[in-house]
Amino acid sequence: MCGINFFLDKKNLQDEKIIQQMNKAIFHRGNENSDYFCHQNLYVGHNRLKILDLSSEANQPFLSEDKEFALVFNGEIYNYQHLKKELLEKYTFKTHSDTEVLLYFLMENKDEKQLNGIYAYIFVDLKNNTIKFNRDKLGIKPLYMFENDDYLLISSEIKGILASRLLEKKLNTSQILPYLYDRFVEKNQTFFENIIPVCCKNERKINPNLIFFESEDKIFEEEIFEEIIFEEIIFEEKKEKSKKNIFTQYTNTQKINELDNLLRQAVLSQCFADVPIGIFLSGGVDSTLLLAYLQENNYPKPTAFTIIHEKKDIRFVSEDTNFAEKAAKKFNAHWEPVLITSNVLDNFQEFVSKIDNPIADASFLLTYHLAEKASKTHKVVFTGAGADEMFAGYHRHQAFYSYLQLKKIFGTSWITLFKNIPTTFLGRKWRKLVEKIDFHSPTTFVHFTQTHWQTNKNFFFNIPTNDNLKWALEYERANFLSEDVLKINDLAAMLHSVEIRVPFLDNTIIDFVDNLETNFLLKNGKKWLLKQLLINKGGKEFANRKKEGFGMAFGEWTRQEKYKKLIVNTLHKKHIIFDYLSYSIFIDFWEKHQAQKADFSNEIFGIWFLAEWLNQNFN
């Protein structure tokens, strides 16, 4: 929806150019209005993408009538109409925006657990000389911060902080290996020293007249990967262990009906906008199910944007083209194909130049181009992001479930047996399984999530539950979903001033899943609950199609002489990356990939992305 910035000047320079520079750096996030508010040594900036209440009255920074409170806000509060009813007795509203509702909500110091939406905000209370800033509990909307003895800077993007020119760019080298292994940096880190994400579920206050930062929670210091504790986000033990699961007494049909009602309502509540809403449609379970709900809610014929490939590339990617076109026709959408060819690599350097924190996932590039096409006609699109993480939809979830079942029946003896099988006698999938499994269950799951750069490393996690499957799915949500999927969706789309909404991550859906027995999610296979819903709506052929990733024929394109040369020239032996990763390992992967003895597409894309980004930012 927008881009927000904040600057606390502890040196009292009284320079408004700084907040102007910050706004300019992230103007793409809201290119329809840019403004800022200042009070003494405190500056708040906002770039607006007009989605709800298109009038100038809803522009931000949004001030209270007495000018004692100010708000800049990025995102959407889906239940704002309900919250508004509770505020009508005390406040007179001049807009029909959710921004004004959120301002009064925060002025009343109400419980933020009531907020259902995707949001990041900075709230200034001049009456008590404090500010508060926060994000939604999954961190769907980003917020970053930098602080030293002289300044506190907060922005929707890292580039907003860098644009202040108040800090020196320093590479956080500790994140190179986590990036290569996991595809992204550690949760509370970035590739820049001293710039960190504002923690989800965090509430901090500062006093603008003080130099030192005050916090209700600890400020996160650098942590090694093995010591991360995940309960800060969503890993909370049930308060009453003896309390029965509220869904236990229900039959499968009742659970499916309950989920059906919740998803229908989630889609309906997220349809509010004064602009048309489109959808990124793959023809898979998640996006097709959302399209079916749009039809059930009588939403006017939405535009469905789909990545398609040339015929020669289809065998290396997916069958999305055929399924998406059929889904659009069945569920009454206007289908808009977006052709992706190897030419996207010709503009790879330009793409990299716009990224402030790389993620080793080719869907980053695809989402960027998909959003570029959508931006010609739309400001808002739905995606099925989060469905796999919430409803156990990845192959690794099923594999880990099977691993736990075997371990329960046979103990660790079968693992010993598997480890002793010569891998030369095994196919690719079985060989991968043997390489990844470990006697320690959490280590096994982490291995399942990682690239081939990382092998045979043990992890020692503080597991707050004896349910390993539950831990694994929560680990997935706290890491891959938060640090890969959601960050890619936000940045890639907002670079084209497009807001992505994710109905599968509505608060009501999160609560529903959290109250299910973990095994129930996989009792009939991966993502069976969503598949059954889609079948009930006449979408059997989409529910039963093979699970395919959102990808491109990158592995095949790297074998073209043009791109082969481009990648090798970037990844020369003296590149800083090879101070942390053995160059011989890269060459081994590269040669096997070129000879088609193995597929290291993900590893090559990730290391090339980072190498090019480092060249542009730290050379």
Identify the sign of the CA torsion 295, 492, 5, 203: positive
Residue type at 473 in one-letter notation? L
What's the pLDDT band for 225 if we cut at 50, 70, 90?
very low
Instruction: For residue 481, count other CB atoms closer than 10 A to its CB.
Output: 23
Asked if 156 and 273 sit in the same domain, the reply is no
The long-range contacts involving 106-109, CB below 8 angstroms and separated by at least 24 positions, are 106/69, 106/71, 106/132, 107/64, 107/69
Q: Is residue 230 part of a domain?
A: no
- DSSP H/E element including 5: strand 2-9
Asked if 559 and 517 sit in the same domain, the reply is no
Q: Is residue 111 part of a domain?
A: yes
Q: Kindly give, in sequence order, each residue whose CB lies less than 8 Å from that of residue 413, ignoring residues fewer than 6 positions away.
A: none
What is residue 470's predicted lDDT score, i.e. its pLDDT? 93
- Say if residue 508's pLDDT is above 80: yes
How large is the average pLDDT for residues 510-538? 95
Q: Is residue 231 part of a domain?
A: no
Q: How far is CA 142 from the centre of its chain?
A: 9
Asked if 561 and 610 sit in the same domain, the reply is yes
Q: Is residue 522 part of a domain?
A: yes
How large is the average pLDDT for residues 563-582? 95
What's the pLDDT band for 596 if we cut at 50, 70, 90?
very high
Write the CATH number for 283.
3.40.50.620
Instruction: For residue 277, count other CB atoms closer than 10 A to its CB.
Output: 22
Structure tokens that stand for 302 in this block? 């939405």
What's the pLDDT band for 244 if we cut at 50, 70, 90?
very low
Pair 607, 586: CB distance under 8 Å? yes
Q: Is residue 410 part of a domain?
A: yes
Range of the domain at 103: 2-223
Query: What is the per-residue pLDDT across 133-154, written as a single tens digit (0 to 9) for each?
Result: 999 989 899 999 999 999 999 9
Alpha-carbon separation of residue 364 from 234, 288, 405 (angstroms): 25, 21, 35
Pair 581, 543: CB distance under 8 Å? no
Parallel/antiparallel/unpaired status of strands 380-382 and 499-501? parallel
What is residue 43's predicted lDDT score, i.e. its pLDDT? 95
Asked if 499 and 457 sit in the same domain, the reply is no
How large is the average pLDDT for residues 502-520? 96
Q: Kindly give, in sequence order, each residue whose CB lies less than 8 Å from that of residue 535, ignoring residues fewer than 6 positions away.
A: 543
Burial 225-264 (b: 16+ CB within 10 A, else e): beebebebbbbeeeeeeeeeeeeeeeeeeebbeebbebbb
What is residue 430's predicted lDDT score, i.e. its pLDDT? 75
Asked if 58 and 146 sit in the same domain, the reply is yes
Q: Is residue 256 part of a domain?
A: yes
How large is the average pLDDT for residues 118-130? 92
- Say if residue 237's pLDDT is above 50: no
What strands, in cross-sheet order, belong to the sheet with 130-135?
Answer: 62-63, 69-77, 117-125, 130-135, 204-206
- Say if residue 222's pLDDT is above 90: no
Asked if 313 and 434 sit in the same domain, the reply is no
Q: Is residue 549 part of a domain?
A: no
Average the pLDDT over each of 46-50, 436-440, 610-614 and give the range with the smallest value.
436-440
Query: What is the per-residue pLDDT across 462-491, written as a single tens digit (0 to 9) for each?
Result: 666 678 999 999 999 999 999 999 999 999
- Say if residue 210's pLDDT is above 60: no
Burial, 196: exposed, middle or buried (Cβ in 10 Å; 0-12, 13-18, 19+)? buried
3-state secondary structure of 359: coil
Asked if 39 and 162 sit in the same domain, the reply is yes
What's the pLDDT band for 229 if we cut at 50, 70, 90?
very low
Final residue belonging to a domain, choices 223, 240, 267: 223
Alpha carbons 358 and 360: distance in angstroms, whole number:
7
How large is the average pLDDT for residues 409-416? 90
Q: Is residue 241 part of a domain?
A: no
Q: How far is CA 50 from the centre of its chain?
A: 22
Asked if 347 and 402 sit in the same domain, the reply is no
Residue type at 492 in one-letter notation? A
The long-range contacts involving 436-441, CB below 8 angstroms and separated by at least 24 positions, are 437/403, 439/412, 439/415, 441/403, 441/404, 441/407, 441/468
- Say if residue 228's pLDDT is above 70: no
- Say if residue 67's pLDDT is above 50: yes
- Say if residue 592's pLDDT is above 70: yes
Query: What is the per-residue pLDDT across 347-377, written as a single tens digit (0 to 9) for each?
Result: 999 999 999 999 999 999 999 999 999 999 9
Asked if 285 and 194 sit in the same domain, the reply is no
Asked if 328 and 356 sit in the same domain, the reply is yes
Alpha carbons 134 and 142: distance in angstroms, whole number:
10
Average pLDDT, the chain: 88
Domain count, the chain: 4
Alpha carbons 178 and 155: distance in angstroms, whole number:
24
What is residue 456's predicted lDDT score, i.e. its pLDDT? 54
Q: Kindly give, in sequence order, each residue whose CB lies less than 8 Å from that of residue 430, ignoring residues fewer than 6 positions away.
A: none
- DSSP H helices, 426-527, are 428-436, 441-449, 468-476, 486-494, 507-514
Asked if 350 and 406 sit in the same domain, the reply is no
Write the CATH number for 12.
3.60.20.10
User: In this predicted model, which residue has the larger pLDDT, 53 or 231?
Assistant: 53
Asked if 218 and 344 sit in the same domain, the reply is no
Final residue belonging to a domain, choices 543, 573, 591: 543
How large is the average pLDDT for residues 321-336? 95
What is residue 459's predicted lDDT score, i.e. its pLDDT? 61
How large is the average pLDDT for residues 198-203? 62
Maximum C-alpha span of the chain: 76
What is residue 275's predicted lDDT score, i.e. its pLDDT? 96
